[in-house]
């Protein structure tokens, strides 16, 4: 952290993890430190990545996509209430818990902003970047709603809407191309006009006209696409999820890549010059672990 100047960014991630106290967010349970290390202790979400479920299914039905989309909106909405942009929403950063409900993870690229403030940094995963991020003209919370639109399209169709292996062409399509939905009959994909409206509204090139820009999560959840769903039942997790992780005859890591098996929780030995660097910067970590989960 000292060597790569990551002290302040780690403090920010700590604050965000403690603030992520919501059913659809993975937060932090405990934090403790020694003279040389920080230990972040978080819940083990043993259903694995939604990406792995998606790979096995290749694409989800519209009903399943709607179920997952609502939880993403709820989780992101909670972050936004606390002034936090996630900025790296993708299937790999969404976990499925043992009950079949979703939890967002990975706040390494998250940023806290306030009011009409715009962030100017370039970050995230290329296929999910909003046009204003690509152009470097400044972005706000609506970059997460753009990513939601990409996710909904991807979960239903099987590929992101502006996919291209060439990075420059991908960025050009994100900035200029319209969203195209495949022919329902030809590709045997069922989807409603309301879903098309939802995705098109989230993928507005102009962030100020994007769905969610004026009312956040509440505005999005009022869209007609969600009209047929009991949002409260999903929020309170009283309904039956479409996918339930099964641990019968499986160990707890069955839904994770664990090629090397379990490793002992031991500290590696630090070279003398690194120990000296830590001692010289001890003040940077004073009281780092004083935070208590609420």
Which residues are annotated as catalytic?
Answer: 88
Which pair of tokens denotes residue 274? 């690194």
**Total count of residues recorded for the chain:** 294
Neighbours of 168 (CB within 10 A): 8
What is the C-alpha to C-alpha distance for residues 292 and 294, in angstroms, rounded to an integer? Answer: 6
Angle at the Cα of 148 (from 116 to 140), degrees rounded to 5? 15
Nearest Cα residue to 82 out of 107, 101, 102, 103 = 107
**Can you list the alpha helix ranges (DSSP code H) found in 82-166?**
131-135, 142-157
Strands 94-96 and 84-85: unpaired
Nearest Cα residue to 20 out of 65, 75, 102 = 75
Angle at the Cα of 226 (from 230 to 69), degrees rounded to 5? 95
Contact in structure between 202 and 179 (CB atoms under 8 Å)? no
Nearest Cα residue to 110 out of 29, 13, 40 = 13
What is the C-alpha to C-alpha distance for residues 46 and 67, in angstroms, rounded to an integer? Answer: 20
Contact in structure between 146 and 135 (CB atoms under 8 Å)? no
H/E run at residue 11: helix 7-19
């Amino acid at each position: 952290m000292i060597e790569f100047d990551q002290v302040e960014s780690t403090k920010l991630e700590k604050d965000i993890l403690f603030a992520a106290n919501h059913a659809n967010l993975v937060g932090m349970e405990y934090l403790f430190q020694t003279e040389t290390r920080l230990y972040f202790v978080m819940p083990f979400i043993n259903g694995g990545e939604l990406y792995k479920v998606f790979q096995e299914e290749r694409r989800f039905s519209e009903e399943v996509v709607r179920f997952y989309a609502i939880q993403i909106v709820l989780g992101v909405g909670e972050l936004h209430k606390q002034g936090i942009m996630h900025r790296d929403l993708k299937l790999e950063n969404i976990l499925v818990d043992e009950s079949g409900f979703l939890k967002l993870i990975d706040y390494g690229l998250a940023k806290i902003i306030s009011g009409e403030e715009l962030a100017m940094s370039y970050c995230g995963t290329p296929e999910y970047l909003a046009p204003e991020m690509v152009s470097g003209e400044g972005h706000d919370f609506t970059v997460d709603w753009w990513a939601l639109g990409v996710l909904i399209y991807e979960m239903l169709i099987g590929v992101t809407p502006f996919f291209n292996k060439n990075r420059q062409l991908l960025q050009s399509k994100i900035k200029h191309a319209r969203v195209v939905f495949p022919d329902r009959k030809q590709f045997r994909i069922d989807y409603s006009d309301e879903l098309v409206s939802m995705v098109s509204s989230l993928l507005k090139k102009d962030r100020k006209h994007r769905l969610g820009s004026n009312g956040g999560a509440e505005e999005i959840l009022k869209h007609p696409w969600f009209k047929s769903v009991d949002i409260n039942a999903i929020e309170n997790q009283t309904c039956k999820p479409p996918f339930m992780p099964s641990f019968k005859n499986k160990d707890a890591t069955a839904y994770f890549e664990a090629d090397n098996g379990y490793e002992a929780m031991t500290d590696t030995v630090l070279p003398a010059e690194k120990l000296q660097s830590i001692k010289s910067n001890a003040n940077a970590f004073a009281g780092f672990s004083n935070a208590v989960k609420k």
